[in-house]
Chains A and B, each alone.
Chain A
Amino acid sequence: MKSLHAQHHALADSAYQLTVLNPAETVGTSFPPFAGKLRAAGLLPLRPTAISVLQVNVGKMCNQVCKHCHVDAGPDRTEIMTRETMQQCLDALAQTDIEVVDLTGGAPEMNPDFRWFVEGISALGRQIIVRCNLTIIVANKKYNDLPEFFARHGVRVVSSLPHFAAGRTDAQRGEGVFERSIRALGMLNAVGYGVEGSGLNLDLVYNPSGAFLPGSQISLEREFKQRLGREHHVTFNNLLAITNLPVSRFLDYLVESGNYDGYMDKLVQAYNPVAAANVMCRSTVSVGWDGLLYDCDFNQMLDLPVTGNASRHIRDFDLASLEARSIVVNQHCYGCTAGAGSSCGGATA
């Protein structure tokens, strides 16, 4: 499988994705504007509360090509963050007390300066999250020591495992991914990750492998713990249930499988104002591989940068102007406010 970008697919173009999400009435079903929902809840313009997380996307390169990927990541993607931009991130962090740096990609570990960057953030004493896809740990000998490296810097590892059944995971993430993920989880457990009392946090991410919403995070966590423990002797800390947003490859899947209208309708029907008040963009700034600033990783993939007088690039990072910005919302935002809500930290309501 190739990225949409490599296929020269129409949906590789973010402007076209926005057209699909906001169709003219003659072309498709139009759903009530998300901004209207926020207005009714007194949340428009959507303002940040306080920025406590800097999420950095260090590049679109990945060893996997998952069907639901909102980044359209893959081995064929060459856009990755340079050391210079990483240094600008470190400079920005040094002038604020943002507590958490959330590293994502692609597979962030494939960026050749990834370890240098982690060491730099660690030296600033900030908490680091790495969104590790697990299989990267076993993809090549040079990555086999990632568990030890993570442990040395007290990194919180957050990893996708869409299901405890191999078939369901592989259907979304590729043939053999489940087996390799279990092997990688074993290696993380071996250095103490996900083991009680070790202080090393390993969280798993559940996201539905299809056009349905995630169920209760607590029930799913219980089930995952039982099944992974019993069948694979794997342990972890928390399960984060994340809704798939209609962006990029998941949007393509929805359109191709004829599920787009049904799925959008589910999201709209499940709109929860409590989740709307807790959307993660209110506490996060997202940095793109080229240093541009966004409200979140989804807006980043839709090429919707921060607006207003807020600083636009990490080299001009100014916390006060970013905290005063109004967040750019669009129809994909329904994915963050459905049911129990969804964020990079799981359910929000």
Chain B
Amino acid sequence: MSTYYNPSDLAKFGNISEWQPEMGRKFFDYYGEVFKEGALSEREKSLIALAVAHVVQCPYCIDAYTSDALQKGADEAQMMEAVHVGAAIKGGATLVHATMMMNKAKELTM
């Protein structure tokens, strides 16, 4: 193995079921169900997945959901805005914790 991440491993995702078939099956059934058109369209779900893929910084997911979002009819502007939503939440989540820091600091200082 020359790198930790290998693009060809993406196609092997299904193999995770080999060592735990029951849980694997349940996971993939659930996964399939989640991405079906429902109250949200398939394209909206794909854009959420794309944003989350960036937030969790999963190269497999970024690869897969870039293709998927294009396929579902999203354009570049929608895709980049989705990533900004992820970035804003990630940045916001960091910054909102500063209130804890502020509380603690106020507690400890005169």
A residues apposed to B, CB below 8 Å:
163, 165, 167-168, 206, 208, 210, 212-216, 219-220, 222-223
Contacts and interface: CB of A to CB of B under 8 A. Distances in A.
Among A206, A213, A220, the one with the most B-chain Cβ atoms within 10 Å of its Cβ is A220
- Chain B contact residues: over half helix, strand or loop, or mixed? helix
> Most chain-B Cβ atoms within 10 A of its Cβ — which of A208, A212, A215?
A215
Contacts of A163: 73, 75
Interface string B70-110: 11110111000000000000000000000000000000000
Contact of B73 (A167, A210, A215): A215
A208 B41 contact: no
B76 A219 contact: no
A165 B77 contact: yes
A339 B98 CA distance: 49
A167 B72 contact: no
Interface of B: 37, 41-43, 67, 70-73, 75-77
A214 B71 CA distance: 5
Contacts, number: 38
B71 A222 contact: no
Nearest to A266: B67
Contacts of A212: 67, 70-71
Contacts of B76: 165, 167-168
B22 to A, nearest CB: 26
B70 A216 contact: no
Contact of A219 (B67, B70, B73, B75): B73
Instruction: Give chain A's interface secondary structure class.
Output: loop
Nearest to A241: B73
Contact of B42 (A165, A168, A206, A219): A219
Given A212-B71, A219-B72, A222-B41, 8 more contacts: A167-B75, A206-B73, A208-B70, A215-B42, A215-B71, A219-B42, A219-B43, A223-B41
A213 B72 CA distance: 9
A110 to B, nearest CB: 30
Q: Which of B37, B71, B77 has the most CB of A within 10 A?
A: B71
Contacts of A223: 41, 43, 73
A212 B42 CA distance: 16
B7 to A, nearest CB: 10
B75 A216 contact: no
21 contacts: A163-B73, A163-B75, A165-B75, A167-B76, A168-B75, A168-B76, A212-B71, A213-B71, A214-B71, A215-B42, A215-B43, A215-B72, A215-B73, A216-B37, A216-B42, A216-B72, A219-B41, A219-B72, A219-B73, A222-B41, A223-B41
